[in-house]
Amino acid sequence: VNNATEGRITDLKGAAPDKDFSLRVLHTNDTHSHLETVVKRVTAIKQERTGNSILLDAGDVFSGTLYFTKFEGLADLEFMNYIGYDAMTFGNHEFDKGLPTLRAFIDKAEFPFISSNIDYITKNNELKDIFVDKVGGSDSATPVENGHIYPSVIKEVYGEKIGIFGLTTEDTVGLSSPGDNIAFKDYKTSAENTVKALQALGINKIIAVSHLGYNVDQKLAVEVAGIDVIVGGHTHTKLDAPVVFNADTEPTLIVQTGEYGTYLGELDVNFDDNGVITTYNGKLIDTTKYAEDATAKAMLVKYDAELAAIRQTVVGKTDVPLVYDRMINGKLTRVVRNEETNLGNLIADGINVKAKELVSKLIPEAEQSAIKGYVAIQNGGGIRAGIDQGDITLGEVLTVMPFSNSLVALKVTGQEIIAALENGVSGLESDQGRFAQVSGMRYSYDSTKKAEIINPTTNVVEQAGERIVSVEIKQADGSYTAIDPKAYYILSTNSFMAGGGDFYRSLAAAKADGRYYELYLPDYEVFTDYLAQVGTVNNATEG
């Protein structure tokens, strides 16, 4: 159990805790088909569940591992049904395979879905007939049915009614494949209308299950009155403790667990008779500390057996070896960590192509001209093997990139790109993994000059780097133009680097500043998609 945080809002509200109604909210988000964690996650939920508990998921069960590639969410759903979720909202990735795949998932669910800002009814689509445009459980004519979608549902806990509603990022249109027959509505207006509908039924304890992202959740907490708890997702933000807004009026708590089911969120919250939070106790529970659930483990075995076969699937072909290492002076050297390789180029090109395809849909047309280029960086340390000439299997791809990183795009200045590259060439002497394999640009450096030195404990720069000599951005006609330190570019990379991994501080700073796009496609899928586009690989280094 990590980072329990207890808050007393009692002093502000003057309510007595022992007279309050107590609710436990257990929550998950952005599990992304990481079923390797599920057998312990199930145990954690079982042990932490109490009679006053509800279990919620804030979306993005879909996409991320071979479990989804093969089973399209139905493997995840078997575990969700087994443990007994109370409700789930849709993440953007729930639409990755289109509405028919999502409908198959919903049909087998033994819980309802909550979705208040998606229009399912204006046009004909695969979800229209299971959407109920009314508060679920509001009267005897509208019971909450499994496998149906509601703007909100009412859950009764020890005689107290809890209103729960869902929100999904409007960026889903550009981030996924929802098609043209559903539409995403403004989150703020939808939230206001849904809260009013619940309040009209006398509900004064309201939970928003949000796949909007932490930055937007903070706006939601301030903009829309009446929400007590926001169970968040989308940005994979690990909130060790609940974040409190409106503490001096009617408090709103925001919680989110990070990603991949590593943590289970647990929030104990007390309400007074007016539905106002008086006290709370929130924490993240490290699910890896729990024993494996025997039933869940047996369930997983059948899926793992099928994945062993799928790893042999041929996903591409190369006429040349894709280089990770080679013999230098009688020593096998991981050259991907200190020089350009054709494999590094191929991976970076795939990242760049996919990010450009997605991000170009998300940037308003009026802002397009301000973007001076699309580039990508893949750290050499994120590449763990080469690929022999001939057929490329999925198993080989997963050996090359075994970390389950995902795709992130950042809006960065030219100076931030230069700083990233300076970091990349500062670990050459010690075989560090930060060397930058790139796409959409080229750079030169002088290895005889001072390297950037960072204190690994404090992350403070102890010596500024002086190695980068030039950086040039590739233009549409294939020519190169010197980078403009003040101009903006879209830089795509993996989630590890975007979070500051391998000392890429300038990328982490851009993300912290809110200049990022959460694409969260798994790296191996980005690579295999690009292999399908390229056909037979025959690439070399490019200088």
pLDDT, one tens digit per residue, over 2-51 is: 344 556 543 333 333 457 899 999 999 999 999 999 999 999 999 999 99
What confidence tier does 235 reach under pLDDT thresholds 50, 70, 90? confident
User: What pLDDT does residue 4 have?
Assistant: 45
Q: Residue 253 above 50 pLDDT?
A: yes
Q: Residue 212 above 80 pLDDT?
A: yes
Query: Residue 510, class by beta-carbon neighbours within 10 Å (0-12 exposed, 13-18 middle, 19+ buried)?
Result: buried
**How far is the C-alpha of 301 from the C-alpha of 293, rounded, in Å?**
13
**How far is the C-alpha of 214 from the C-alpha of 48, rounded, in Å?**
25
**How far is the C-alpha of 305 from the C-alpha of 75, rounded, in Å?**
13
User: What pLDDT does residue 179 have?
Assistant: 93
User: What pLDDT does residue 456 have?
Assistant: 66
**How far is the C-alpha of 119 from the C-alpha of 176, rounded, in Å?**
16
Query: Residue 503, class by beta-carbon neighbours within 10 Å (0-12 exposed, 13-18 middle, 19+ buried)?
Result: buried
Contact 30, 259 (CB under 8 A): yes
Q: Residue 541 above 50 pLDDT?
A: yes
**How far is the C-alpha of 246 from the C-alpha of 271, rounded, in Å?**
15
Instruction: Please work out, in degrees rounded to the nearest 5, the angle formed at the alpha carbon of residue 291 by the alpha carbons of 288 and 297.
Output: 100
> Of 178, 154, 181, 179, which is closest to residue 165 (Cα–Cα)?
154
Say which range, 21-25, 242-246, 247-251, 254-258, has the weakest mean pLDDT: 247-251
Map residue 96 onto helix, strand or coil.
coil
Q: Residue 198 above 70 pLDDT?
A: yes
- What does the H/E/C string look like for 399-414? HHCCCCCEEEEEEEEH
**How far is the C-alpha of 403 from the C-alpha of 382, rounded, in Å?**
8
Q: Residue 434 above 90 pLDDT?
A: yes
Question: What mean pLDDT comes out for the span 188-208?
Answer: 98
Q: By percentage, how much of the chain surpasses pLDDT 90?
A: 84
User: What pLDDT does residue 13 have?
Assistant: 34
Q: Residue 457 above 80 pLDDT?
A: no
Q: Which amino acid is at 368?
A: Q
**How far is the C-alpha of 345 from the C-alpha of 350, rounded, in Å?**
9
Contact 201, 135 (CB under 8 A): yes
User: What pLDDT does residue 309 have?
Assistant: 87
pLDDT digits (tens, 9 = 90+) for 52-81: 999 999 999 998 889 998 999 999 999 999
Contact 347, 437 (CB under 8 A): yes
Q: Which amino acid is at 155?
A: K
Q: Residue 102 above 80 pLDDT?
A: yes
What is the CB neighbour count within 10 angstroms for residue 357? Answer: 13
Question: What mean pLDDT comes out for the span 324-350?
Answer: 94
Pick the CATH number of 2-299 from 3.50.50.60, 3.60.21.10, 1.10.357.10, 3.40.50.300: 3.60.21.10
> Against a cut of 0.85, is the pTM above it?
no
Q: Residue 101 above 70 pLDDT?
A: yes
Mean pLDDT of the chain: 93
Contact 210, 89 (CB under 8 A): yes
pLDDT digits (tens, 9 = 90+) for 345-387: 999 999 999 999 999 999 998 999 999 999 999 999 999 899 9
User: What pLDDT does residue 459 have?
Assistant: 72
User: What pLDDT does residue 1 have?
Assistant: 28
Question: Which pair of structure tokens corresponds to residue 230?
Answer: 């926001």
> Of 436, 441, 437, which is closest to residue 503 (Cα–Cα)?
436
**How far is the C-alpha of 136 from the C-alpha of 148, rounded, in Å?**
9
User: Which CATH number describes the domain made up of 313-537?
Assistant: 3.90.780.10
User: What pLDDT does residue 54 have?
Assistant: 98
Query: Residue 534, class by beta-carbon neighbours within 10 Å (0-12 exposed, 13-18 middle, 19+ buried)?
Result: middle
pLDDT digits (tens, 9 = 90+) for 275-293: 999 999 999 999 999 999 9
- The CA R_g of the chain, rounded to the nearest whole Å, is 25
Domain locations along the chain: 2-299, 313-537
Q: Which amino acid is at 476?
A: A
Question: What mean pLDDT comes out for the span 392-403?
Answer: 93
